[in-house]
Structure 1
Amino acid sequence: MLTQSTRQDAVSAADARLTTPEGRKDFWRATFSCWLGTAMEYADFALYGLAAGIIFGDVFFPNATPTMALLSSFATWSVGFIARPIGALFFGWLGDRKGRKIVMVTTIILMGLSTTLIGLIPGYATIGFWAPVCLVILRFTQGFGAGAELSGGTVMLGEYAPAKKRGLVSSIIALGSNSGTLIASLVWLAVVQMDQAQLQAWGWRIPFLCSSLIALLALWIRRHLKETPVFERKNAEMQAAREGKLVMYQPAADRSFWQRSRSFLVMLGLRIGENGPSYLAQGFMIGYVVKVLAVDKSVATSAVFIASLLGFLIIPFAGWLSDRFGRRIVYRWFCLLLILYAFPAFMLLDSREPAVVMAVIVTGMGLASLGIYGVQAAWGVELFGVKHRYTKMATAKELGSILSGGTAPLVAAALLSWTGHWWAIASYFAVMAAIGFLTTFVAPETRGRDLNAPEDAI
């Protein structure tokens, strides 16, 4: 059995690493790398979400009605989310066995290449049917890499962070996503100022081609990463067990990947409550405002830009709150606010007033895309035992994405086409937030948990 002192050493593995100059250097390198990789992932997805709402209908589906073009654009959006759990399962398995670094390097290459190639696809006017086919293929490979990138960065930061500040440090992952959204909105804010003919002909390609620069920088940094203190501790304990120096604590219920499923299901519910409202707020609402309400494109992109700026305050504050008061209660309040937000938001959007529209989008992103995710990062890491942490968390998150964020813009567009009114979309928004809210009542409080514990939190 592991002795109490050994378990205590495991608890303080990250803190011990930070006592040395080299350890602090490793921590900051890992922090910057995780931030940059997540920034790239979300820049890619925000670029695609904005492009789907603003331009892809004209470039890849020019013969469709405005509503059907929006629906088709978000259908290709959903393909990336279908690929994400496949990538999460494969790369999560690899990361739990071979280490976090190899996955972090591989995924950044895959995502960067896919996004760059999207910017090189000829339009429908040039190659016809093959244009959307190429878009779907590259969207799939982009999602395959992204399925492990976000969770990999979350696991790495959580396992590097000192226990008492794990919520704050882990929220840097959400800062990365916010930075990516900010980069995407800045680029698109500049691009949409172009003449419509130029924008449709070649201007929309600029944001996708520029993402290769971020990928190259992230790859260069990640080549020098070290494994996390928690993963190194795990390997050391396994080596000691093989040499007969230590009997590993291994509960019977944790010997199989799927035998303990409560934490997996909890993560699934938490993810639905966050990811669905998030992608409705920063994905569908953009297309709805531009294509259906005919509000100027710059209004939506300006709103995303403002929300991204505010995110640099909202995200770490949410992480700090979870360190101070606990993950569960803070997450629950964010979900409740999202439920209360849904119907008034769409009522106000119908005013078509630029200031009101911007305020609605900023508020939605502040709650769903920024604050709630600042809490989820540390909570997700703490829910799972060290043996299968990467695989379980990544798979749960990406399955949750398919059930919520990945299909949310598509379902919302279909509901709009079917009903011709926003009430069904607002109901859909509120239901997903309610799933997250109810999940917090069955989820454990994990603040400060020993990340080297082999068993799941529940």
Structure 2
Amino acid sequence: MARTPSSAELDPKAIRRVVVASSIGTVIEWYDFALYGVASALVFGPLFFPSQSSVAGTLASFAVFAVAFFVRPLGGLIAAHVGDRVGRKPVLVFTITLMGAATVAVGLLPTYDVVGGWAPVLLLITRILQGIGAGAEFAGAVTTVAEYAPEDRRGFYTSFAQASVGAAFVLSTGFFSILATIPEHILLGWAWRIPFLASFVIFAVALFIRSRIEETPDFVQARETIRAQEGTTSTARKIPVVQALRERPRHLVVGLLCGSGLNVAGYLVNTFSLSYLKNTLGVSATVATVGVVVAMASSIVAVPLFGRLSDRVGRAPVLAGGAIFTACYIPPYFLLLQTEQPVLIVLAMTIAYGVGQSAMLGSQSAFLSELFETRYRFTAIAFSRELNVMVLGGTTPFIATALVAAVDGPWLVVGFVIVCQALTLLALALARSSRTHAERADSGALDGDGSTALTSHA
């Protein structure tokens, strides 16, 4: 049987096409997902939970925001199972279709004034569908790019999936920063629907691009080997998540913990800070949204630079550096926000995202992809990452809002963020002790399933 070319042997143009296709799809996916986060902080409270007080309405809105993160692991596991057994491409097409349809549906929903209690129920349903789609999106994009990219540029190429998240937040938050300048009665009346309905156009473009992605050579080779072994392998051993749990339990713990710092810090800046600035400090929504736009825009450039740095010095040092910087920076971050000065607010958010967050984002994708073998890589990344996002990412705006209300200040939030950075450092210590980067003495060796191994650079 002829051997499928490895990622290192592919035409660089083919690699770039996959990177662009995956990244553009991720932009659209996370535009949809981020849009709800911005709307939660600015408009969904009065539109769907008007009977609550201002704080209670915001908490209710953030609670629905968090629901999608609780279904993400389930959606991710189901889709990733298909991705590891059938192929990466069909899953990437499915996730973007589901999430695009759910987001357009949000723009068509009746509000509380029209249908009463059914309004938040319908909003919850669309949010669940968004979560199912997002649960497999990142893992699919990173897995696809990692299996095409050569080892010495894997950090750089996989970082574009993370940088694309920044582009998505710029689009979604930028939309609302423009809408925030119009009278409030128009914004709450119909204008808030525009960015959700507009997603149909970019969703269609992304779907077309994703449909042209070729299956990764590493997966094709792994699938051929798995099919040859099907008659001698137990059913349990054929299930990717079971394989990962049996063969790499420590690696799954590392993958689960390593995203703690970036998930909490990320949603603190791009979602919670909007509500904190507007509802607690009384800063205009325009200043808050502009701050998020500039901060996320900085990550579009910074994340690939940190990804390239991880190719040179290793994934773990860059990831650890981002976590340490964030832990040290979070106290002055809130002090800068409390000045209520627009320039200092934008500067604070930009430093938080452009340095600490971007360092973690730029190195995480390659770090995760190099923890696991081809035959269950998609599933293992989705499992470990989405569980962390469920517990810490989606709940961060809710937790932070409750902590601020409890002590009438942000300092419990500061402690919460620092503890989560420590969890990322713990994961890196576990990775080092388990010698994840030394599992292959020969980087050209094949996995036991016959697929080309991704040599870890932790």
| Cα shift at 1:63 | 2.3
CA contact (8 A) 1:315 1:370 kept: yes
1:80 is aligned, of 60, 68, 71, to 68
CA contact (8 A) 2:321 2:359 kept: no
AA paired with 1:256?
Q
SS at match of 1:119: helix
AA paired with 1:280?
L
1:36 is aligned, of 5, 14, 24, to 24
Q: Given the superposition, is the C-alpha separation of residues 451 and 348 from structure 1 closer, same or farther in structure 2, using an over 3 Å criterion?
A: farther
2:199 is aligned, of 206, 211, 230, to 211
1:275: which partner in 2?
263
TM-score (norm 1): 0.90
1:399: which partner in 2?
387
SS at match of 1:403: helix
1:3: which partner in 2?
none
CA contact (8 A) 2:258 2:428 kept: yes
C-alpha offsets along residues 293-324 of structure 1, whole Å, 9 cap, x if unaligned?
11011111111221232223201110011000
CA distance in 2 between counterparts of 1:371 and 1:63 reads 42
Q: Which deviates more, 409-418 or 373-382? A: 409-418
AA paired with 2:67?
V
1:14: which partner in 2?
7
CA contact (8 A) 1:79 1:139 kept: yes
| Cα shift at 1:45 | 2.3
Task: Provide the alpha-carbon RMSD of the alignment.
Answer: 2.5
Q: Given the superposition, is the C-alpha separation of residues 215 and 452 from structure 1 closer, same or farther in structure 2, using an over 3 Å criterion?
A: farther
The answer as to 2:245 corresponding to 1:258 is yes
Q: Identity of paired residues, percent?
A: 32
1:220: which partner in 2?
208
C-alpha offsets along residues 137-192 of structure 1, whole Å, 9 cap, x if unaligned?
11011000100011100100111111110000111101211111111122112111
Q: Given the superposition, is the C-alpha separation of residues 398 and 424 from structure 1 closer, same or farther in structure 2, using an over 3 Å criterion?
A: same
Within 5 A, what are the aligned runs for 1:260-409? 260-367=248-355, 369-409=357-397
CA distance in 2 between counterparts of 1:293 and 1:270 reads 32
AA paired with 1:13?
S
C-alpha offsets along residues 333-388 of structure 1, whole Å, 9 cap, x if unaligned?
10000100122211221111111111122222224543311110111111111121
TM-score (norm 2): 0.90
CA distance in 1 between counterparts of 2:137 and 2:342 reads 35
CA distance in 1 between counterparts of 2:230 and 2:404 reads 60
Structure 1: gaps of 5 or more residues: 1-5, 245-249
CA contact (8 A) 1:386 1:451 kept: no
2:110: which partner in 1?
122
SS at match of 2:374: coil
SS at match of 2:403: helix
Q: Given the superposition, is the C-alpha separation of residues 60 and 382 from structure 1 closer, same or farther in structure 2, using an over 3 Å criterion?
A: same
CA contact (8 A) 1:52 1:73 kept: yes
Within 5 A, what are the aligned runs for 1:18-167? 18=11, 24-25=13-14, 27-167=15-155
2:158 is aligned, of 162, 170, 192, to 170
2:447: which partner in 1?
453
Structure 2: gaps of 5 or more residues: none
SS at match of 2:368: helix
Within 5 A, what are the aligned runs for 1:410-421? 410-421=398-409
C-alpha offsets along residues 12-43 of structure 1, whole Å, 9 cap, x if unaligned?
70122227xxxx34x33322221112111221
